Structure 1
Amino acid sequence: MPATADHENVARAFLAARAKKTPLTLYPGAMPQTMADAYAIQDRAIALDGRRVGGWKVGRIAPDLVDRYGGNRLTGPIFVDEIHDGSAQPAMPVYADGFAAAEAEILLCFGEVGTRDYDIDSVRDCIVDVRTGIEIASSPFPEINRHGPAVTASDYGNNKGLVLGPSIVGWQDADLIRMPVEMAIDGETVGAATMEAMLDGPFGSALFLIEILRARDIAIPPGTLVSAGAITGIHEVRPGQRAEALFDGKIRVGCSITSY
């Protein structure tokens, strides 16, 4: 969908708020009512931003909203300069007066995707690595998640960065769906779950991403990451806190939360 003047104005307002680190007390324009409108805003913002996209976050659309929005997932860009090595215990900045959260996620890395058609089984053929990680969700609009998935998607899908944890050795044969995952904030466990409740799991997120990016005429170069969705929930954080995810009882990924 080509961007309209309204889409352009919303995109520019979010870019300005992110650049100036100032909160948006109101949504900067007419709230998008469809995913097509949301992605028109997002695509225009990506073009105006100019940074290179290194990956994409995928989030779930609530079951009661699937029919209205025509799908069960949404996506947003993760820029290369906001992807950090978890072994360095990175400090991840968020919008202190906006919305901020940390999410334990499985990260998939694409190899050559090409033009072939995929299904939930064959999509594994174009995945070259599976890693652990934490997605940092943050937006200058504090109510980003309170007005439906189109609003969430319109501001980069509410993404503000990615912490790369270790790869999962032998992921091809691992039972990823049943892998236990825990999330802690300041050492206190705030969520524990497996991926059994995540629709069709992380590979379903990869399949969704291929289909939605092709529909938007966006290339998927080798090395593109997929942050496949929150496993233990969306855990709100604030500057000064520390987030740590534990995968399979042995793989730890952590970061500190800071403000600008």
Structure 2
Amino acid sequence: MQELVGVSQPCEGAIFANRIHHDPAMVAHDAFVNIGVESEIAVRIAHDLPISDGPYDRNNIQVAVVACMAAIEIVDDRAIDYGLVDAPLLVADNSFNAGCVLGERVSDWQNLDLAGLPGRMLINGDVVGEGVGGDALGHPFVPLAWLANNLNERGTMLRMGDIVLTGSIVTTKWLQPGDHIVTEVDGLGRASLTVT
């Protein structure tokens, strides 16, 4: 995604509570300008992450992860001119985020090689993309630590119960009415979405 929009750092966007769906989920195509999906590993935060405990890195942030899960990020391309995209514009557009679908929580993730976990996206039963957990900055906890530090620098923090999507392991796929999407991540299960 960073290459697609030409930025050199991760970008964050808020996931609004009313747009967090659980597997299986259904959304209406006409509720979006141009709906797309990405396959991700999501994490749930175990406790607040104040600046006094930072800075955070891939290793020390692990204790703040109570669960990992397969997830679908729902994105909406609101007719942005990609030639003009920079980090401030992405933030203003909420980094394209329009919600997510969460699979079952996996609380015993500690013995999984999250960076090496294979994942795939299927649309209408066909595999349309594959990757591994490390495709997003080398390890899912790298963008998590980046986000925690970035928020701390601005005087806020990740809080207990927050959901963080750690970056797509496949390129964005654009959808049509009737599409059925499944994200699978070995060891973390699946999440599914139907577009009506």
Same fold (TM over 0.5): yes
Name the counterpart of 1:44: none
Name the counterpart of 1:167: 105
Aligned residue pair count: 192
In 2: Cα distance, 1:256 partner to 1:221 partner: 30
AA matched with 2:45: F
Name the counterpart of 1:132: 70
Shift of 1:94: 4.8
Ranges of 4+ aligned residues in structure 1 off by more than 4 Å:
63-66, 94-97
Name the counterpart of 2:182: 244
TM-score when scaled to structure 2?
0.87
Determine which of 99, 118, 121 is the counterpart of 1:183: 121
In 1: Cα distance, 2:83 partner to 2:180 partner: 25
Query: Judging changes above 3 Å, is the alpha-carbon distance between structure 1 residues 214 and 94 closer, same or farther for their aligned structure 2 residues?
Result: farther
Instruction: Give the share of equivalent positions with the same residue, in percent.
Output: 26
State whether structure 2 residue 62 is matched by structure 1 residue 62: no
In 1: Cα distance, 2:140 partner to 2:19 partner: 21
Name the counterpart of 1:77: 14
State whether structure 2 residue 146 is matched by structure 1 residue 213: no
AA matched with 1:148: V
Query: Judging changes above 3 Å, is the alpha-carbon distance between structure 1 residues 90 and 122 closer, same or farther for their aligned structure 2 residues?
Result: same
For 1:172, what is the secondary structure of its paired residue? Answer: helix
> Could you give the per-residue CA deviations for residues 21-80 of structure 1, whole angstroms, max 9, x where no partner exists?
xxxxxxxxxxxxxxxxxxxxxxxxxxxxxxxxxxxxxxx5229945xxxx4200100000
How do 1:1-260 residues align onto structure 2 when only pairs under 5 Å count?
Answer: 60-62=1-3, 65-66=6-7, 71-86=8-23, 89-94=24-29, 98-112=33-47, 113-114=49-50, 115-117=52-54, 118-139=56-77, 141-143=78-80, 145=82, 147-150=84-87, 151-168=89-106, 170-248=108-186, 251-258=189-196
Bigger Rg, structure 1 or 2: 1
Which stretch shows the higher mean deviation, 204-213 or 95-104?
95-104
Shift of 1:183: 0.2
Shift of 1:120: 1.7
In 2: Cα distance, 1:175 partner to 1:149 partner: 33
TM-score when scaled to structure 1?
0.67
Shift of 1:187: 1.4
CA contact (8 A) 1:99 1:143 kept: no
Shift of 1:204: 0.6
In 1: Cα distance, 2:151 partner to 2:29 partner: 27
Could you say which structure has the higher helix fraction? 1
Name the counterpart of 1:39: none
For 1:167, what is the secondary structure of its paired residue? Answer: coil
In 1: Cα distance, 2:188 partner to 2:66 partner: 22
AA matched with 1:195: G
CA contact (8 A) 1:134 1:163 kept: yes
Shift of 1:128: 1.2
Structure 1 unaligned residues grouped into runs of 5+: 1-59
In 2: Cα distance, 1:85 partner to 1:127 partner: 19
For 1:78, what is the secondary structure of its paired residue? Answer: coil
Root-mean-square deviation over aligned CA pairs: 2.4
